[in-house]
Chains A and B, each alone.
Chain A
Amino acid sequence: MGDTPDRSANAGTGGPRVTIGHAGSAGAALSVDVPVTPADRAPDGAGRRGGGSGGGGTGLGGGGALPRRSAFGAERLFQSFTMAAGAMVLVIIVAIAIFLIAKAVPALNANTANFFTFEGWFPNEAQPRFGIGALAFGTVLTSVLALLLAVPVALGIALYLSHYAPRRVGTALGFLVDLLAAVPSVVFGLWGRDFFYGPVQEFSVWLNKYFGWIPIFGGEGPFGRSILLGSLVLAIMVLPIITSLSREVFRQTPTANEEAALALGATKWEMIRTAVLPYGRPGVIGATMLGLGRALGETIALAMTLGIVSSISFNIIENGGNTVAANIANAFGEANDTGRGALIASGLVLFSITLIVNITARAIIYRRREFTESAA
């Protein structure tokens, strides 16, 4: 089997290159000396067998006793089935776009305000007026704020788990971080609303008292159900994703690099700065983008913690703030036909943004084939 690529050799790489298997059955395997190239098995994986057995003229097909015909049918059937299942993924993504557009267009035509700039959401009135200006602003503001809070802490935890903690402790605590990722978002929302609201409100009042001269901490109150609360809850929710992906890349730093740095007399931090961080940078960027995608799409936790005010304001501690996703959850209950269409239109915008962010993130991660762990 000299020319057949060894499956186990590529097993751990996780790269998109699929290992080349054996398309033929036993009889066809007589031709194994022929180098197996993708072109060789191009059309449907059965071409080679067709040549070897169907005609029989080439003399390669030796397994005359095998039940070739029936196997051929089942093989084709099974292969088509798996291929259809694979194509289903693409179909779903395209279908999402098509159906969202189909339902959004009537509402967008009925809209009497500019969809992209108008700062309000009144799609249920006789003259529907709605725009995602304030919603998109709130979405971006909460997500960026959440990432600013979460990324440094997540990198700290990832470094701690991969390079500082004893191995056993690191494994156990990493397990704990993964469990944090499994907690449903509605629970974080409930926690943020019923418990975390108190400390954040006190903190907001304190910030307003001593740093009120900075515009983002200004205002007259009331404080609490604010962008700050939403962003903090969001930060806690994206923390596990960024942590577990970063920990994976940090752990994969070649030991040779680390030991070389240490051998040159570097301290532990210098070793991390010169060997671990540069190696992990693409992975960290990809993880951050994935966290961003998650934060942009987060619905329930924000619907429960934000003040739900559709206006553009940079003040992060006063009651207020709204996001595209949270608005969908909150406004869906009393939406009429146009209202639903309007929400679907805003969902379409969200879908496009997250799709772009995710494709970028995945493209960055794919450049590093060493990734084996999936994100979620």
Chain B
Amino acid sequence: MTTTTTAPPSTAPGQSPQLRTRRLPVVASLGIAVAAVVLSAAVVYGAGIGGTALVVALAVVFYLVGLFLASNAVEGRRQARNRTWSALIHSAFVLALLPLASVTWTLVSKGIERLDGNFFGTSMNNIGARDPNGGAYHAIIGTLEQVGVATLITVPLGIACAIYIVEYGRGRFAFTIRFFVDVMTGIPSIVAGLFVLAFWILIVSPYFNDGRPGYSGFAASLALSVLMLPTIVRSTEEMLRLVPAPLREGAYALGIPKWKTILRIVLPTALPGIVTGVMLAVARAAGETAPVLLVAGGGAAINFNPFENNQSSLALYVYQQAGDASRYAPARAWAAALTLVALVLILTIAAKLLARRNRFSR
């Protein structure tokens, strides 16, 4: 078996037989990079047409061109293409990391300023444009209650819908439902808000509210439910499909009716995955601004009752403070944004870690 040593490693195709093909040394590509930076700096500052950002952008272009030409001369056209595309793909990745880093940095550096006990302990009631304090207590209450009610509405409905799709439904009807669950994931959040505005606020709520439209946290929950439902159905459906068939068959063999098998055997087995999906949906709903803006009213005072009177939410609070003229408002907006992102990311990360720990054989 000693003759197999010439087999090329699959990770580095076309680069192996060093006896025949010449390769561009690593030093050369480093040299090209340095030359590209120097050249671009010379061009930009020599002609006086821009700053550092332009130097970097031009340097990347020069590097790609230089790499292609050098590789073309040494290794041939195909290797040159390979190298250039590889460099392009890597730079696309770096390019995408820039906004991520920038958002994180801005969020933390600006948000930390007002992140104090006062922020979490007070509302915006009686806070004027000249008051530096004021907090998001009412908004946090609003977010928790609205998302909580929405979860209570959506989870039973979503799980039942997924059970129907996986366990009972067949034929065109089940296919249609499954298809439109997917389509529903794409409904814009503002449209969900408008739907609840047209349906609940303008048509139903006047009956409970002396003929006037009643904005409330519950209306926001309804809108969030519309947005959460498809996410929960999809993730639950995936999880139910992963439950091994022998588990069900064992239950049937013991004489257990189907509905009890589903409730006692299938659902508990799929539970960790379902919880993950619910947490992801909750995280997404907590960050929604547009529906809450339209139907919750957004008050400044603390309101514990989601069924009556205006409520705010963290995302809406960020939006309102960002549009506020007070010079203290931006700091409050960033602090609330940091709180919101922390809440959403903790939920998301916890959900993903849970999913990783409890993964079925996949």
Contact = CB atoms under 8 A, between A and B. Distances in A.
Interface stretch (A53-61, A78-86, A121-129): A78-86
A28 B238 CA distance: 29
B235 A374 contact: yes
Contacts of B177: 86-87, 89-90
A88 B157 contact: yes
A19 interface: yes
Interface stretch (B32-40, B58-66, B120-128, B341-349): B341-349
A256 interface: no
B289 A361 contact: no
A20 B170 contact: yes
B241 interface: yes
A160 B89 contact: yes
A16 B179 contact: yes
Nearest to A337: B202
In this complex, the member of B14, B233, B235, B289 whose beta carbon has the largest number of chain A beta carbons within 10 angstroms is B289
B188 A63 contact: no
A168 B97 CA distance: 17
A184 B333 CA distance: 14
A297 B188 contact: yes
Interface stretch (A109-117, A216-224, A309-317, A340-348): A340-348
Contact of A268 (B86, B103, B242): B86
A144 interface: no
A140 interface: no
Contacts of A271: 13
A350 B188 contact: yes
Given A45-B168, A186-B319, A300-B289, A92 B238 contact: no
A332 B249 CA distance: 55
Interface in B160-177: 160-161, 163-171, 173-177
A31 interface: no
B140 interface: no
Interface string B45-60: 0000110011000000
Contacts of A93: 180, 183-184, 187
Nearest to B54: A206
A75 interface: yes
B284 A182 contact: yes
Interface string B246-270: 0011001111111110110000000
B82 A267 contact: yes
Interface in A282-310: 290, 293-294, 296-300, 303-304
A297 B190 contact: yes
Given A164-B90, A328-B190, A38 B248 contact: no
B89 A100 contact: no
A375 interface: yes
A253 to B, nearest CB: 14
Nearest to A87: B177
A358 B183 contact: yes
A34 interface: no
Contact of A89 (B78, B230, B249, B263): B230
Counting chain A CB atoms within 10 Å of each CB, the highest count among B191, B230, B294, B362 belongs to B191
Interface stretch (B23-31, B192-200, B304-312): B192-200
Interface residues of A, number: 129
A336 interface: no
Contacts of A35: none
B96 A187 contact: no
Contacts of B81: 267, 269-270
Contacts of B107: 187, 191
B315 A184 contact: yes
B287 A186 contact: yes
Contacts, number: 352
Contacts of A213: none
B147 to A, nearest CB: 12
A376 B185 contact: yes
Given A1-B249, A21-B167, A357 B89 contact: no
B186 A358 contact: yes
Given A102-B198, A194-B330, A267-B79, A362 B341 contact: no
A235 to B, nearest CB: 9
A82 B249 contact: no
Nearest to B338: A187
B289 A362 contact: no
A19 B203 CA distance: 42
B334 interface: yes
Contacts of B82: 267-270
Nearest to B156: A85
Interface string B193-231: 011011100110000000000000000000000100111
Given A194-B330, A362-B183, A354 B191 contact: yes
Given A26-B255, A184-B344, A185-B287, A160 B90 contact: yes
Contacts of B255: 25-27, 63, 66
A86 B165 contact: yes
A19 B173 CA distance: 14
A153 B100 CA distance: 14
Given A45-B168, A265-B14, A182 B289 contact: no
B24 to A, nearest CB: 13
Interface of B: 10, 13-14, 49-50, 53-54, 78-79, 81-82, 85-86, 88-93, 95-96, 99-100, 102-103, 106-107, 110, 156-158, 160-161, 163-171, 173-192, 194-195, 197-199, 202-203, 226, 229-231, 233-235, 238, 241-245, 248-249, 252-260, 262-263, 280, 283-284, 286-290, 293-294, 315, 318-319, 322-323, 330, 333-334, 337, 340-341, 344-345, 348-349, 352, 362
Closest 5 CB pairs of A and B: A297-B188, A156-B92, A184-B287, A85-B160, A7-B245
12 contacts: A12-B241, A16-B178, A77-B259, A89-B177, A89-B230, A102-B203, A160-B92, A164-B86, A179-B349, A187-B337, A190-B322, A297-B186
